[in-house]
Amino acid sequence: MQPYLKRTLIALFCFLSISIYSQDIHFTQFYEPSLTLNPSNTGKFNGDWRFNGIYRSQWGAVVKPFVTTALAYDQPLNILDHNFGVGGYYVFDRSGDGRLTMNKVMLSLAYHKNFSGHLLSFGLQGGYVNKNINYSALTFPGQYDNNTGGFNGTISNGESFANDKINYFDLNLGLGWTKQINSKLALDAGYSLFHANSPKETFMQHTTKLQMRHVINASAKYDLNTKSFITPNLLYMYDKQASDLVMGANYNYRMMANKMKLTTIFAGIVFRDGFFRTFDATSIIFGAEIRDFRVGVAYDINMSPLSTATNFRGAFEISITYIARSSLPDIYTVPCDIY
């Protein structure tokens, strides 16, 4: 097979995989942009406010990279002894040479209630999604030129498209549970439903509804000793046509006082798979916490049949999270001789 044809077919395969069956973004460090993981995570942290940014680039070994960027902001909000969380996020996604782009803006609200040490959370997200496609940047089977052995964009593709832009309202729901089991172990789990309103999404003339995506996530923090702890993470997503299983763990080491204000360093490994399909990728993660910042870097090693073309090169990802320290005054008990 000629290199040009091989690369074009791979690009077409990747484009169809993302645009038809997946429909949604995914991250190796899925636990970092917590608002894109579960709406109930909104405002669930210790601090005044939180900002997160994450960037992912994949398939650069065979086509123009598929790029995803997400920016999120949230903060706790206390009203009459009730604990809420408010925030929102923005996502930009570009799917390689297909020029399929997405812009999404979501607002997020959550309510948190503690029942005998069990923190229960409910979250709601609603927002606006815009998708655009550039048909002139695509090639189709009817444009294969037997004379040159490659695709010819000047040949009519024979396709009929209704739109090159679509817009719709999207709705997500989420539930969360957090529990400090003992002095060493803390658990966190959640379930979320994305596209709960099944919005209409299609560039073709027929009407297609976006399938609801079910997401189950779980994580833990276990102190090995005073200097180190592990944080296992699990994510399972599925809809009618596809599933995705991501699981792994990070080893974290607490640093001694230093001039750089480096508090923790971490490294880990993640595996991505799915049911009834081939193994996808193994990912290496490393990063650090510096003052109030947390920086993580991940690299995916492609292990699927596509690795023949990618040479095992998958995706690069970097995330940055900043949590502003709480400005609430600490409560101290002051002894008094009078009482």
- Spell out the residues 6+ positions from residue 112 whose beta carbon is closer than 8 angstroms to its own: 43, 44, 83, 84, 85, 119, 120, 121
The secondary structure of 91-106 as a DSSP string is EEEEEGGGTEEEEEEE
- Residue 60 maps to which CATH number? 2.40.160
Taking every pair of Cα atoms in the chain, the longest distance, rounded to a whole number of angstroms, is 101
Q: Is residue 82 part of a domain?
A: yes
Q: Return d(Cα 229, Cα 222) in angstroms, integer.
A: 5
Q: Is residue 211 part of a domain?
A: yes
Cross-strand bridge partners of residue 49: 324
CA 70 to chain centre: 8
- Please give the residue range of the domain that contains residue 161: 3-233
pLDDT single digits (tens) 53-90: 999 998 655 667 789 999 999 999 999 989 999 999 99
Beta strand ranges found along 59-212 (DSSP E): 66-79, 82-95, 100-115, 118-132, 144-145, 150-151, 165-180, 185-194
Whether 306 is in a domain gets the answer no
Query: What is the token pair recorded at 302?
Result: 């492609």
Binning pLDDT at 50, 70 and 90, where does residue 92 land?
A: very high
How do beta strands 293-302 and 49-58 pair? unpaired
The top-scoring range by mean pLDDT among 13-22, 129-138, 260-269 is 260-269
- Identify how many contiguous H helices and E strands the chain contains and give both numbers: 3, 16
**DSSP structural state of residue 5:** H
Residue 158 carries which side chain, given as an amino acid letter? Answer: G
How many domains in the chain? 1
117: in domain = yes
pLDDT tens digits, one per residue of 248-268: 999 999 998 888 889 999 999
Average pLDDT, stretch 32-43? 95
Q: Is residue 206 part of a domain?
A: yes
Domain assignment of residue 26, yes or no? yes
Question: DSSP states of 44-67 as a string?
Answer: -SSSSEEEEEEEEEE-TTTSSPEE
Confidence band, pLDDT 50/70/90 cuts, at residue 180: very high
Percent of the chain beyond pLDDT 70? 78
| Nearest-5° Cα angle at 81, 77 to 83 | 35
Inside any domain, residue 330: no
Quick check: is 279 in a domain? no
Do 145 and 157 contact (CB within 8 A), yes or no?
no
**Cα atoms in the Cβ-side hemisphere of radius 13 Å centred on 291:** 5
